[in-house]
Amino acid sequence: MLASVLISAVSLVLLGYWFRYSCLLLLRARASQFTLSPGNRFSFLDVRAKLHTEPNLDPLHRSLERDYRVVTYLLQHASTLGAQSLENRLLMLDYRVMQGWYCVTRTVAPEQARRALTEMTEVLICLAQKMGAQAGLQTQI
């Protein structure tokens, strides 16, 4: 009984580690490949610029939420963009995990909340870049 509980606990910890490591690898790989042009209509580039200077994080979080809804809508409703890829699902799940972490830490640990918003921004940038590359749009390097 104790062995099965221990094995289950270790397996869950290893699954969580694999998930975080995979998401960070995806984010690093995408960030090194492309940069988005500043003339787009998403606000996550502005959020990334304001993240270290803005004292109130809630408006930044709301902006990221609006962008996330638009990006996920486009990914889910554009059949040619491959919305069912494992990478997209992992990144969307990572966004939701970081959103939960932001909600937990925004009042007690503002620096952790900033890190969560930073990762949420990176996820949105990666998803938008992937969507743009698959749609054949030009991105600036």
Contacts of 40 (CB under 8 A, 6+ apart): 128
Spatial separation of the C-alpha atoms in residues 52 and 141, rounded to whole Å: 24
Q: Which of 32, 37, 62 is nearest to 47 (CA)?
A: 62
User: What whole-number distance in Å separates Cα of residue 141 and Cα of residue 129?
Assistant: 11
Query: Would you say 16 and 33 are in contact if contact means Cβ atoms under 8 Å apart?
Result: no
Q: Locate the domains of the chain by residue range.
A: 13-134
- The pTM of this model reads 0.81
pLDDT of 11-63, one tens digit each? Answer: 999 999 999 999 989 888 876 555 555 556 788 888 888 888 888 899 999 99
Q: What is the pLDDT of residue 81?
A: 53
Give the mean model confidence (pLDDT) for residues 98-122. 93
Q: Tell whether the model's pLDDT for residue 8 goes beyond 80.
A: yes
